[in-house]
Structure 1
């Protein structure tokens, strides 16, 4: 290969790695901000006495309630994550609210 190609690779590979990590950090910040907004919205709804229920998932979430009634909180959190795609923190907070 030509020396110019090697030099280009030496510059481009770290540049792409840096851009990739910068994008990942940005996505993590956005995920965190969305999580904070979700928690604040939940607090407002609870304060106003408005029951929030995802109508499309209500039958699936009954399984979470059943696990809670049986004293299986960890399994309930896992089921909530499976049903909703929530992360561990969001699932725990949601199950705690139930």
Structure 2
């Protein structure tokens, strides 16, 4: 009985932590979107280290390698890198 109660507490605790993480991720995404709009409005562009190499990979049709290079250069996630590489085309 005690183990079952403890297991329920652990599951509820994990659920609460996941809920907080999800909320933080949504907030961060919202802030990033707003920052992107501000940068766009000010006509400022983020400098991408190794951009020439990434653009060259895109021109060669090596999109997967370009996404990988973008992720390594910027630390971006997969979706963000894919979207950025798509904008380079």
TM-score range, shorter chain: 0.7 to 0.9
**Runs of at least 4 residues off by over 6 Å:** none
Ranked by relative contact order (alpha carbons within 8 Å, sequence separation 6 or more), the top structure is: 2
TM-score, normalized by length of structure 2?
0.73
Determine the structure 2 residue equivalent to 1:71: 61
Give the distance between the partners of 2:63 and 2:69, measured in 1 at CA. 10
Structure 1 runs not aligned, ≥5 long: 1-6
Determine the structure 2 residue equivalent to 1:16: 10
Give 1 or 2 for the bigger CA radius of gyration: 1
**CA RMSD between the two structures:** 2.2
TM-score, normalized by length of structure 1?
0.68
What is the CA-CA distance between 1:47 and the residue it aligns to?
Answer: 2.2
SS in structure 2 of the partner of residue 51 of structure 1 = coil
Give the distance between the partners of 1:16 and 1:72, measured in 2 at CA. 46
Structure 2 runs not aligned, ≥5 long: none
